[in-house]
Amino acid sequence: MNDWLFDDCADPNEEVRQQAIAHQRQLTKPAGSLAELEDIAIRLAALQGHPDPQLERLWICVFAGDHGVMEENVSAYPQSVTAEMLRNFASGGAAISVLARGLNAPLEVINLGCVQDPPAIDGVTHLALGPGTANLAKHPAMTRQQLSAALAAGRDSVERALGAGTQLYIGGEMGIGNSTAAAALASALLSMDPARLTGPGTGLNTAGVSHKVTVIQQALSLHAEHLNNPLNCLRYLGGFEVAALVGAYIACAQAGIAVLVDGFICSSAALCAARINPACGDWLFFAHQSAEPGHKLLLQALDAKPLLKLNLRLGEGSGAALATPLMQQAVALHNQMATFSSAGVSDKH
Ligand SMILES: Cc1cc2ncn([C@H]3O[C@H](COP(=O)(O)O)[C@@H](O)[C@H]3O)c2cc1C
Ligand SMILES: O=C(O)c1cccnc1
């Protein structure tokens, strides 16, 4: 059912990468002076197989779902916020709605299942996988069917993005309690003490974070015998929206679409995706290092260099949306700067 996850990813074009490196060397600036912005343009050239990469057509998709682990009181906010935010995404008042408008990017919103699903909302696709996940501290978070359907929801979003000629895909997430699922998933994938990967999320105090760690420890020991491969880790510990992101990231790599990964929760999905299909790592850019303390470790494990560090702790894809103009300007510089010879500027001795 999930066989598609293991299909080959698209290959970056190494010849074009070399051309892009040589082109950067010709531009009217001290060699290497645009540093990480040069790397972005060079990587995108190789991924797009074109010496002049383009980042005009964006796609933003927010996946939402509830978390049974909220029975354990692991968030500073009530569970009802997940469903309430769906309307806010659709009516344009959420942070990601504002940022998507600013980027002129389409914003797709997919409800994968909340405890109390709202009546049909214009602009929100409802895929009913169930009333949220089961409590991961007591049960597998998802059934096999729910896992497959969530992964497929991510893949289907990428299918639509591909149809629109998307050059950069941004996934976002909304799910009260999902920083618990993400920390549990990351702990299992990295065989790391959850105390190192667990943080305040929406704003727990110190006692709240300790309790959250205990809940995750309980889940890891309960499911220990099943946490033997990344897909099982995702099914036992993840969430609908986290699984959809895993499916979306792998599908992007297979379709040849670059991805801009958002914060801690999206990075846990990226790690899971890279463990399932390692070649998908080539297609992932990392927008920022969030305030969630575990994010730094997660990024290290992914060998990722985040573009920004603004201490954001929002999610929704907001950090990725904020980093997009930086990537677009990196591409504009690569494509539009004059060369030493065209501008009659003297090159290095
Ligand atoms: C109003 C509101 C809007 C949000 N948008 C994203 N999140 C973020 O907070 C949640 C994760 O934190 P925790 O695990 O502590 O619940 C996710 O829904 C995430 O996307 C929000 C949270 C709230 C309260
Ligand atoms: O970094 C994130 O993705 C994050 C952090 C806190 C709350 N929601 C999301």
- Residue 316 annotated as catalytic: yes
Contact between 307 and 314 under an 8 Å Cβ cutoff? The reply is no
Average pLDDT over residues 50-79: 98
Whether 285 and 338 map to the same domain: the answer is no
Identify the pLDDT of residue 318.
Answer: 99
* Catalytic pick among 38, 173, 241, 316: 316
Q: Which two tokens stand for residue 330?
A: 């990196």
User: What CATH number corresponds to the domain at position 217?
Assistant: 3.40.50.10210
Ligand nearest to the CA of 291: 2
* CA of 267, closest atom in ligand 2: 3
Identify the pLDDT of residue 118.
Answer: 83
State which of 176, 212, 237 you would mutate to test the pocket of ligand 1, scoring each by most atoms of that ligand within 8 A of its C-beta.
Answer: 176
Whether 165 and 192 map to the same domain: the answer is yes
Instruction: Give residue 44's domain range.
Output: 11-52+334-343
Identify the pLDDT of residue 74.
Answer: 98
171 lines ligand 2 (CB under 6 A): no
Ligand nearest to the CA of 82: 1
Ligand nearest to the CA of 173: 1
154 lines ligand 2 (CB under 6 A): no
Average pLDDT over residues 301-315: 98
Q: How would DSSP label each residue in 214-247?
A: HHHHHHHHHTGGGTTSHHHHHHHH--HHHHHHHH
* CA of 266, closest atom in ligand 2: 3
Gap from CA of 182 to ligand 2 centroid (Å): 10
Whether 45 and 146 map to the same domain: the answer is no
User: What CATH number corresponds to the domain at position 338?
Assistant: 1.10.1610.10
Average pLDDT over residues 120-145: 97
Within a domain: 266: yes
Whether 28 and 147 map to the same domain: the answer is no
Whether 65 and 158 map to the same domain: the answer is yes
Cross-strand pairs, 126: 111
Per-residue 3-state assignment (H helix, E strand, C coil) for 16-44: HHHHHHHHHHHECCCCCCCHHHHHHHHHH
Within a domain: 248: yes
ipTM, two decimals, is 0.99
